[in-house]
Chain A
Amino acid sequence: MAEIAASIDAARRIDSAGDAPLTQVLAELERRRMRVIAGYCITVLVLAVTIPIATAPLLLLALDPSQLPSWLTPHLPTIGLAGAAALFVTLLVGVWAFRRFAWLPKLRYLHDYKTQVFAAVCRQHFPGLRYLPDGGMPFRLLDESRLYPFACDTYTSEDRFEGRVGATDVCFSEAKAQREHRRGFGQNRETVYETYFRGIVFSADFQKHFRSTTRLLPKGADRNKVASESAAELEDPAFNAVFDTLTTDQVDVRYALSPSLMERLTALAARFRGLRALFADGRLLLLLPTNRNRFEASLLERADNPGQIDSFIADAAACLGIIDALDLNTRIWSKS
């Protein structure tokens, strides 16, 4: 949690002067996009021609030898060997070429689109907020929150936003956490990865000072026991129907979770089914499950298509709307 606060402070000090006009950037990216698509088409075309040619000698082996010219029959083993080698080399070169001329340029284009366009749009539309496409929330945040009764085995996170919105320091990103499962027996034993969380990891500075640690878990969810923690039965029956509340201080949890905030969290849980929350170290951590990969550019859409940019703004605004949904900018207590 302390790392997140320090990162947000650094974001506020970054000077965003010196951006090239967005239209120039979009025009350049559009040219690159056309080159990437051309690279894709040419590579696929070349492979579509060379692979059948490389496969042709092997097809001879499939024919009845009596149908082949007599001078060819003694050379069939050599032809077969050469054909297999040619096919192998062609496939190898084909994979390399596809990666070099199609796949990597596509990834670079998408990455640069996010770094140059989305970051600039974020600076313009959300002053005080910084967008880092390669940034993410650390896996330790998820594991140490104990909002799930186990630690992750694989974890990826991207599209990090950090900064201040109104009076609230906020940091959020997309994340996916998976657990390893072994299934089957003996020689059939295999390792599979189950995704137990995919969505937005959202951390915000809470509006009140509090000492305790409180976890909000979906009603009936599996949990691990934490020392000095006890269940809290709060006054809002709708809230209690959605969440199990576990806290280290029965008074402090009622200070942090006012009746108004309980209502707001209940409404938020209706939007994000399976929402989990942690109140600790003066911050609020929310795990918001979603099934859509947000903040992504597309190779198939024009670089200057406003739809992509509008979609990015809408997704970011939806996440930032959580601050208003929970009324975190109201600062009438001693914490500024």
Chain B
Amino acid sequence: MVDARIVMVLAAIAIAAVLWFVVSLFNRLVAARNACASARSSIDVQLVKRHDLIPNLARAVSGYAAHERATLTAVTAARTAAMATLGTAGSAPAEARLEQTLAALMLRVESYPQLRASDNFLHLQRTLTEIEEQLSAARRAFNAHVVVLNNLAEQFPTSIVARAMGFERLEFFAAGDNERQAPAVAEQLRG
């Protein structure tokens, strides 16, 4: 009788311990996933800042470089596409396209010394550089959180809980194939 009661108490403790262990692993996975989501939204915040800057940039450039209408049109179109796909699967290629058109615009601006000397343009250029770096920082932070989540999702014993609860590994933010290649500067200068 006494032995049976002791066995039952020990079994209850063991079950409670296992349950507590599983719950703590689950909570860690949830925290990691939420951190990735928060980091993802930080990237979107920076993307929106970049989108908001572009009209001011285009206005500053068009005042001095009326001949760059084609380039400005390309930038504006890329911006519109990027804004339309923000937060969706198509966002990454749209943003990559926007980055390429912006880079091309900045290259062409080099031919206009008056524009480059303009305080307004300089301020916008610095702000754009800052936003690009903040965007890069947000992506780096996202990747760091993804490492944590993927490690939890793939390492034993968290992987058991992850598979059971439907936690999947996330993809890192990576440069697209276009960005990996060296930019075709001559082509961009020809316009």
Residues on A lying within 8 angstroms of B by beta carbon are 208-209, 232-235, 250-255, 258, 332-334
Contacts and interface: CB of A to CB of B under 8 A. Distances in A.
Interface of B: 39, 42, 123, 126-127, 129-130, 133-134, 136-138, 140-141, 144-145, 147
Given A251-B42, A255-B137, A258-B133, A334 B144 contact: no
Given A251-B39, A255-B133, A258-B133, A334 B127 contact: yes
Contact of A254 (B127, B130, B140): B140
A22 B130 CA distance: 46
Contacts of B140: 235, 254
Closest 4 pairs (CB-CB, A-B): A254-B137, A255-B137, A333-B130, A251-B141
B160 to A, nearest CB: 25
- Majority secondary structure of chain B interface residues (helix, strand, loop or mixed): helix
Nearest to B138: A251
- Majority secondary structure of chain A interface residues (helix, strand, loop or mixed): loop
Given A250-B144, A254-B137, A334-B126, 19 more contacts: A208-B130, A208-B133, A232-B144, A235-B144, A250-B39, A250-B141, A250-B145, A251-B134, A251-B137, A251-B138, A251-B141, A253-B137, A254-B136, A254-B138, A254-B144, A255-B134, A332-B129, A333-B133, A334-B127
15 contacts: A208-B133, A234-B144, A250-B39, A250-B141, A251-B134, A254-B137, A254-B138, A254-B140, A255-B134, A258-B133, A333-B126, A333-B129, A333-B130, A334-B126, A334-B130
Nearest to B132: A333
A208 B140 CA distance: 18
A251 B43 CA distance: 9
A258 B145 CA distance: 18
Contacts of B39: 250-251
Nearest to A333: B130
Contacts, number: 42
A334 B129 CA distance: 8
A107 to B, nearest CB: 50
A233 B144 contact: yes
Contacts of A235: 140, 144
A251 B127 CA distance: 18
Nearest to A332: B129
B55 to A, nearest CB: 18
Nearest to B35: A250
Contacts of A208: 130, 133
Contacts of A254: 136-138, 140-141, 144
A253 B137 CA distance: 8
The CB with the most chain B CB atoms within 10 A, among A234, A250, A258, A332, is that of: A250
A233 B148 CA distance: 10
A235 B136 CA distance: 13
Contacts of A234: 144
Contacts of B42: 251
A95 B123 CA distance: 67
B19 to A, nearest CB: 28
A332 B126 contact: yes
The CB with the most chain A CB atoms within 10 A, among B129, B133, B137, is that of: B137
A258 B137 CA distance: 8
A334 B137 contact: no
The CB with the most chain A CB atoms within 10 A, among B123, B133, B140, is that of: B140
Contacts of B144: 232-235, 250, 254
A234 B137 CA distance: 11
Nearest to A258: B133
B168 to A, nearest CB: 22
A335 B7 CA distance: 69
A30 to B, nearest CB: 52
Contacts of A251: 39, 42, 134, 137-138, 141
A196 B133 CA distance: 37
Contacts of B127: 334
Nearest to B143: A235
A253 B39 CA distance: 13
A158 B39 CA distance: 45
Nearest to B134: A255
Nearest to B148: A233
B84 to A, nearest CB: 25
The CB with the most chain B CB atoms within 10 A, among A233, A250, A251, A255, is that of: A251
A16 to B, nearest CB: 31
Contacts of A209: 130
Nearest to A208: B130
Contacts of A332: 126, 129
A235 B141 CA distance: 10
Contacts of B133: 208, 255, 258, 333
The CB with the most chain B CB atoms within 10 A, among A234, A332, A333, is that of: A333
A36 B48 CA distance: 71
Contacts of A255: 133-134, 136-137
